[in-house]
Amino acid sequence: MSFRLRTTVPLTALVLTALVASPHGPLDSPALAQPSSGIVRPDTEPQKPTLELGSELFAANCSSCHGIAGDGITKPRPGSGDVQGLGPPLHGVGAQAADFYLRTGLMPLDNPHHEPSNDRVLFSDKEIRSLTQYVASLGKGPGIPNPHPQRGNISEGTQLFTSDCAGCHQEDARGGYVTGARVPPLQGYTNREIAEAVRIGPYLMPRFSTSQISNAQLNSIIRYVQSQNHPYNRGGWGIGNIGPIPEGLVTWMIAAPLLLLTCLVLARRVRR
Amino acid sequence: MKESRRGAEFTVVVLFLIAIVCAIGFIFVYAFFSPERMPNELLGISLGLCLIFIACALAVVGKRLVPNDELEDDYPEEHPQKQAEVVEQLHSAGSLITRKRLLLGAGSAAGCALGAAALTPVLSLGPFWDTAPLDRTPWKRGVRLVDESGDPLAADNILKETFYTAFPEGADPEEIGSPIVVLHLNATDLRMPRDRSGWTPRGIVAYSKICTHAGCAVALFRKPTFPTVERREALVCPCHYSTFDPFTGGSVLYGPAGRPLPQLPLEIDSDGHLRAAGNFSARVGPSWWNVREQPT
């Protein structure tokens, strides 16, 4: 057991080595077009998103954790290395969840024990559409939502965000912490992704049904979140809008020299 | 020279008087406004100005009234007469202040006013032996759970993987004992204390939403998307990350909270609505002395 693999980087290297050693030349294989990502692609991709491409991509990139045909792997099984394929079943999660996790880059995840983080999106738009089609075909589930934040009311959105979201995401949607996880800032998410996240409840986040937050209220929340991309800083300087600690530090950086200066002026004659 | 000293003394007295006015202003603002409408900016400005004017007065004293002349002379060790001369010099220099009692009086009055202003809020702590109001909550057997808009909560509408904030029907939602957080958990995973059997119909549990550490709203609910590799459900307070286990009667998993979240026993009535089956398991709100005694 001394050769246990500690991270996925060696795993990726192994996969790549195997590909280079295959009969295809390095340039023939689309898998090597993006060598560092570790995504395995079929040799020839169709022009348009298809269910077949989705199933091929799923088998190559997702089934190690989500199981054959999305059955999920919920019991640890002996695998190679420390990383054991573990993942929830995907029957009935619908196009909504697949679209959200792939477009935000939360999936694919290199280690099922890590918190998903949206580092970068590894699939192309066509591939995401194909995978979404495939996951939606696994079982009846919610479709991709189509929010209309322009119909929302920003004042209602502020109120709802404060009561339901700000506990974790902070009042200005800059993110924060909860015990055991980071809470992402909401800047850079599209309207659709925010709507999907509210309904899915990714990772530690609770999910909110339409009986808790109606679609009209969701429009308002999204409008508020998007308005926080460029908050109106009444005080002048936002300092990242991340709360009282940097604001206090800046205050002290101004106040401390002023106090020191006052002390110097007062003490000058005594020192002379 | 003497005229300017008189002027300086006058300035010091005036500055002390302004400081006194500011301190009285603080006391007046604190006494005049109710706690809900307290203008914090006025409190800060009045107390800050009081301190600034006292500082200015002391600065004028230091700059203009304390002698700063330096005299260098060999210390005459053997000559009592010369020593007497030095003492004489010191005394004459110290007499720069002509109205010592007035200045001392003004200064101590300003100090007293500032102290009184700083101590005024202590009166709000009230008679400290009476903690009875902290025990009273609007919850008792049969009170229905309602949401923010006053609609009763139906047990069938309480879904898993999310959380609900509820209030007692017909009571003031602002009261510290009012808000509760309602969760739907797997009934088979519950490990409640033995004396709380029947408190959690269908796996629906309710806890006070006020953290037992500093009284913040326990507004964070953590739920696993994939329970095999993630921690199970927990309630988290956003202020200092006290984390409570809803499966074991609200016990503290992490953080500074010193005692479990008070649990509210629930029952489902014939209409399918949630009702309280009694009062909380413990006193609500941040901890204080004797808090572990049972609520009345």
| Residue A99: CATH number of its domain | 1.10.760
CATH code matching the domain that covers B132-276, chosen among 2.102.10.10, 1.10.10.10, 1.10.3720.10, 3.30.310.220:
2.102.10.10
Instruction: Let me know: does B203 contact B184? Beta carbons within 8 Å.
Output: yes
**Does residue A186 fall inside a structural domain?**
yes
Cβ of residue A258 closer than 8 Å to a chain B Cβ: no
Cβ of residue A32 closer than 8 Å to a chain B Cβ: no
DSSP A116-176: P------S-HHHHHHHHHHHHHTS---------GGGS-HHHHHHHHHHHTHHHH-TTS--E
Which pLDDT tens digit goes with each residue over B174-204? Answer: 888 999 999 999 999 999 998 898 899 999 9
User: What pLDDT, on a 0 to 100 scale, did the predictor assign at position B77?
Assistant: 67
Of the candidates A185, A182, A209, A187, the one whose C-alpha atom is nearest the C-alpha of residue A198 is: A209
Residues A29 and A127 in one domain: yes
Cβ of residue B229 closer than 8 Å to a chain A Cβ: yes
**β strands within B88-177, DSSP E:** 145-146, 163-168
Identify the domain boundary among A188, A206, A227: A227
Cβ of residue B254 closer than 8 Å to a chain A Cβ: yes
Identify the domain boundary among A89, A116, A137: A137
Mean pLDDT of B220-240: 88
User: What pLDDT, on a 0 to 100 scale, did the predictor assign at position A17?
Assistant: 44
The DSSP element (H or E) to which B180 belongs, if any, is strand B180-184
Residues A124 and A174 in one domain: no
Strand partners, B235: B221, B244
Under an 8 A CB cutoff, do B230 and A203 touch? yes
Residues A70 and A109 in one domain: yes
Measured in angstroms, the CA of A57 and the nearest CA of chain B are apart by: 22
Which residues, including other chains, have CB under 8 Å from residue A50's CB and lie 6 or more apart?
A130, A133
Instruction: Please report the residues numbered 155 through 184 in chain B whose beta carbons come closer than 8 angstroms to any beta carbon of chain A.
Output: 157, 159, 161-165
**Does residue A241 fall inside a structural domain?**
no
Which pLDDT tens digit goes with each residue over B64-119? Answer: 887 766 666 666 666 777 777 777 777 766 556 667 888 889 999 999 999 999 99
Of the candidates A175, A22, A5, A162, the one whose C-alpha atom is nearest the C-alpha of residue A79 is: A5
- Calculate what percentage of chain B has a pLDDT beyond 70: 88
Mean pLDDT of A86-99: 88
**Does residue A35 fall inside a structural domain?**
yes
Residues A115 and A162 in one domain: no
Cβ of residue B247 closer than 8 Å to a chain A Cβ: no
Number of domains in chain A: 2
Check whether A11 has a pLDDT greater than 50: no
Instruction: Let me know: does B53 contact B15? Beta carbons within 8 Å.
Output: yes
Check whether A192 has a pLDDT greater than 60: yes
User: What pLDDT, on a 0 to 100 scale, did the predictor assign at position A176?
Assistant: 83
**Does residue A245 fall inside a structural domain?**
no
Residues A173 and A74 in one domain: no
| Residue A186: CATH number of its domain | 1.10.760.10
Whole domain around residue A42: which residue ranges?
8-137
Backbone angles phi, psi at B108, to 5 degrees: -70, -30
Check whether A139 has a pLDDT greater than 90: no
**Chain B residues with CB inside 8 Å of A90's CB?**
none
> How far apart (Å, rounded) are the C-alpha atoms in residues B279 and B254?
26
Select from A179, A203, A211 the Cβ nearest to the Cβ of B254.
Answer: A179
**Does residue A269 fall inside a structural domain?**
no
Check whether B244 has a pLDDT greater than 90: yes
- Calculate what percentage of chain A has a pLDDT beyond 70: 82
**Does residue A265 fall inside a structural domain?**
no
Sign, CA dihedral B100-B102-B105-B106, equals negative
User: What pLDDT, on a 0 to 100 scale, did the predictor assign at position A272?
Assistant: 43
What band does A250 get if pLDDT is binned at 50, 70 and 90? confident
Residues A213 and A117 in one domain: no
